[in-house]
Structure 1
Amino acid sequence: MKKVLIIGSGAREHALAQTFLRSEQVTTVIVAPGNDGMTDDGLKRMTVPVTDLLGLRDLAISEAVDLTFVGNEEPLTLGIVDLFEASDLAIFGPSKVAAQLEGSKSFTKDLLQKYAIPTAKSMTVDTLEQATDALQAFGVPIVFKLDGLALGKGVTILTDFMAAEAYLTDLYSKNTTTKLVIEEYLKGVEFSIFSLVGKNGVMIHTPLAQDHKRRFDQDKGPNTGGMGAYSPVRWLSDDVENRAITELVEPTISALAQKDMPFTGVLYTGVMLTEEGPKVIEFNVRFGDPEAQVVLPQYTGDFYELISRLIAGQQVLAKWQETDVYVGVVLAAAGYPESPIKGAIVPSVAEVTPLLVNFAGVKAGLANGGRVVTIVSHDISASLAQKSVYNKISQLNTELAYRHDIAYQAVSHEKN
């Protein structure tokens, strides 16, 4: 029987662990470092930090792990896949050079522009003067993206010119050489494509998902790592999905291969469907959170078998449910994202049952981070799934904060 290692600590990694545990081949899933909410049968937590690459490699060896799946972006950009493969350890994720798709916004924009892959017009700057010139050129609304990893919080969208100037002044007062990607603001419908890419270019795509980044209802407030998601996105046509895959995803995988940095692992393509067609907003090189929590439960096959075959570069037939819509709502600490307040009691599995639950920032039953738990329901329509998840949340005695309108787009389309 097989043993799997998941690297990361959040609700995404909890969902991954549960998905692997559904495989008849898997007896044990180790999550490193995990969190105290992960108490599923067959799941073990080992407190090795995600940045301790040598410690994670040694853990995989000492525990005789058959497969490692990297959930968190940081070890990917540090080169954990290269390290594991050099030790003949099976691991699913991109190499360090390919992980630049997420680790460097400027690398990604240069790649997209070189290979004529549709995306927002942009300028990469590293001084206040250059940034101010870019602001003048693009006007508002405008998008600012910090070049490196920012744990889902590196994007700022401003609609007021004076606020944009103040943002730049403050940013460059702290570091006069900050590398910043400045983009035109794209209007349209945003959605996410997750592509599982194996050796030899073997690739499958999960059902589409739609994330809710803004902290408050009606898409107001600051950007967050994600306050909820739903999947599949039934009201987007197959034609839209196919165009996004053929015009954005496949050319990017091909471009990386041409640059001698072939991609394997999870490619998350954030797409904006504009009047001119689909365009790339961003790439991540791992599953999104909270999208993973609504996408992964839809897999009806053997996930261990799927990933193993992709690593081997073998053709696969993916099996996804086709009847229900999954809606996931994130419960976060009060004050998130600016100043999360720790210590709130976290709902237990028993309180949430029979709905699905994935834990993130939990320590000894208390909130210990920003996003704390994702609660997921599914039903034959988005309307029914949304109603179900909010009915359950309303019954909880919790101080955790959440949005009340996750999946509103899908519900609106079902009513019209």
Structure 2
Amino acid sequence: MNILILGGGGREHALAWAIRQNPKCDRLIVAPGNAGIAEVAECAALDIQSRAEVLEFAQENAIDFVVIGPEAPLAAGVSDALRNAGFLVFGPSQAAAQLEASKTFTKEICDACGAPTAAWARFTDGPSARDYVTAQGAPIVVKADGLAAGKGVTVAETVEQAHAAIDLIFDGEFGEMSVVIEEFMDGEEASFFILSDGVNCLPVGTAQDHKRVGDGDTGPNTGGMGAYSPAPVLTQTLQDQVMDRIVRPTIAEMARQDMPFQGVLYAGLMIKDGQARLVEYNVRFGDPECQALMMRLGGQILDLLLACAENRLDSVSANWADDHALTVVMAAEGYPGSYVKGTAIKGLSDLPQTSFQMTFHAGTAEKDGQIVATGGRVLGCTGRGATLAEAHERAYALVDAIDWPQGFCRRDIGWRAL
């Protein structure tokens, strides 16, 4: 098969690495890719949010299957354009992608199907939102109602913090957006990944992400500083509960509203006292959770994605080894604030690339024969082992072998489970 993956981050490197291992994969192209992806696939310069450009490229290159990695092309309707032209696609329609693109949409779907989630209210102007927060008190959660690259959520510990977050959103920090304000939920967060072909659902793994920038879960929220899989807090009993009360009702409601969901549903959950509530949905694999998941799933992921795209998920199953994987994100100094681009990263060519240790690239490029950092989150050092402690040791061994003075990471990824 000729396969095209859209995206250029750590998630897409992990997907490309795993898909490449499947014998069904003949030619693999990733657009736009990055320096690490270039070692396992062809990279193509392409505006992945342009329906016309992606469609033309797929036609010219006789692509058999398109895997859409990030949320932006999904929200732009790229999957619809490809499907309408007869291509096999993994990724939801533009309408179904609203489960991530619009916080309000997700809340309304949850209300319609009775899925447990936080109480909420939506505002289109700053003064009303500020008044609501003042009346409710803190802690409280303020969300930009749209795609904000993982940066549009503030867990405000004081009313003043919430007011500042509201002002930032209405000042256009993330574009023109309304604000959704939610009840603060405490407990333990975990991520649950489920494939859906519009009717059938297949769980494909659990993970736990680390959103805060600093050790001990301190500092501002980020796109994710590390993850591990599986998440011990998501017991089989809890997974069954989430499928019955949250996921299947959501999929049924989407179909009822004539927006069948086909792709991966990432359910961010808050768990307390043996009960799970939905924090948010994403409509693509999480980053860095994907890196840990792909390390455990390997080449079978292509068969699962194909079954999902061909509406036959009821005919396949995910085969899990009794193992663990852990990813440590190396980020550029200053992230998630302003950071310097273009710093050289040394020592990457000497790192092992095995099914137990792999360094996935996110924000990298090759310049004058060396690898340079081009983004905030730059590398995902991933280890796999029979125990989480073994995976942890292997991931940090990669971190310690990399020579990049301008990079940093958290040293406590996996601390809840370890």
Using the size of structure 2 for normalisation, the TM-score is: 0.93
Determine if contact 1:19/1:296 at 8 Å carries over to the other structure.
yes
The alpha carbon displacement at 1:117 in A equals 1.0
Q: CA deviation at 1:165?
A: 2.4
Aligned counterparts of 1:132 and 1:188: Cα–Cα separation in 2: 26
1:375 deviates by: 0.7
Q: Does the 8 Å contact 2:359/2:398 carry over to 1?
A: no
Q: Given that residues 191 and 271 in structure 1 are in contact (C-alpha distance below 8 angstroms), is that contact kept between their aligned partners in structure 2?
A: yes
Summarize the Cα distance change of 1:57–1:170 in structure 2 as closer, same or farther, 3 Å threshold: closer
**Cα deviation code 1:157-176 (max 9, x no counterpart):** 11022222233344435589
Letter in 2 for 1:407: G
Q: How does 1:9-408 map to 2 (within 5 A)?
A: 9-41=8-40, 43-173=41-171, 178-199=177-198, 201-275=199-273, 277-300=275-298, 302-314=300-312, 315-347=314-346, 349-354=348-353, 355-364=357-366, 365-399=371-405, 400-408=407-415
Task: Report deviation, 1:227.
Answer: 0.5
Name 1:414's counterpart in structure 2.
none
Count of aligned pairs between the two proteins: 408
Q: Answer whether contact 2:142 2:154 (CA < 8 A) is retained.
A: yes
Displacement after TM superposition at 1:17 (Å)? 0.7
Farther off after superposition, 376-385 or 270-279: 270-279
Cα separation, 1, equivalents of 2:390 and 2:274:
33
For residues 29 and 300 of structure 1, the distance between their equivalents in structure 2, rounded to whole angstroms, comes to 16
- Cα distance in 1, alignment partners of residues 152 and 188 from structure 2: 21
Contact 1:141 1:157 in 2 (8 A): yes
Query: Per-residue displacement from partner, 1:172-219 (whole Å, max 9, x unpaired)?
Result: 3558984000011100111111111125x1221112100001111111
Residues of 2 paired with 1:128 and 1:221: CA distance? 25
Q: C-alpha displacement at 1:224, in angstroms?
A: 0.7
136-145 vs 82-91, which deviates more? 136-145
Alpha-carbon contact 1:300-1:321 (below 8 Å) kept: no
**Distance in 2 between residues matched to 1:272 and 1:31, nearest whole Å:** 34
Asked if the contact 1:10–1:361 (Cα under 8 Å) also holds between the matched residues in 2, the reply is yes
**In 2, Cα distance between the equivalents of 1:181 and 1:123?**
6
Please list the CA deviations of residues 260-299 of structure 1 after superposition, one character each: whole Å capped at 9, or x if unmatched. 1110011111011133721110001110100000011212
> 1:367 Cα deviation (Å)?
0.4
Match of 1:260, SS?
Answer: coil
Distance 1:26 1:174 in 2: 43
Residues 307 and 316 in structure 2, CA contact (< 8 A), matched pair in contact too: no
- Alignment gaps of 5+ in structure 1: 412-416
Q: Deviations over 1:206-241 (max 9, x none)?
A: 121000011111111111111100001134321111
For residues 106 and 318 of structure 2, what CA distance do their matches in structure 1 show? 31
Does the 8 A contact of 1:11 with 1:359 survive in 2? yes
CA distance in 2, matches of 1:160, 1:110: 27
SS at match of 1:107: helix
Check whether the contact 1:138–1:183 (CA below 8 A) recurs between aligned residues.
Answer: no
The 3-state SS of whatever aligns with 1:270 is strand
The amino acid that maps onto 2:383 is S
Q: Against the structure 1 CA distance between its residues 206 and 283, is the aligned structure 2 distance closer, same or farther, given a 3 Å change threshold?
A: same
Q: CA deviation at 1:304?
A: 2.7
Q: Partners in 1 of 2:169 and 2:79 — Cα distance?
A: 33
Taking the aligned partners of 1:363 and 1:151, their CA distance within structure 2 comes to 20
Q: Is the 8 A contact 1:301 1:319 kept in 2?
A: no
Give the whole-Å Cα distance in 1 for the aligned partners of 2:298 and 2:45.
30
Higher mean displacement: 110-119 or 268-277: 268-277
In the TM superposition, what is the alpha-carbon distance from 1:300 to its structure 2 partner? Answer: 5.0
SS of structure 2 residue aligned to 1:182? strand
Is the Cα contact below 8 Å between 1:11 and 1:373 reproduced in 2? yes
Structure 1's 170 and 57: CA in aligned 2 closer, same or farther, altered over 3 A?
A: closer
Aligned sequence identity (%):
35
Q: Structure 2: how far apart are the matches of 1:292 and 1:302? A: 14
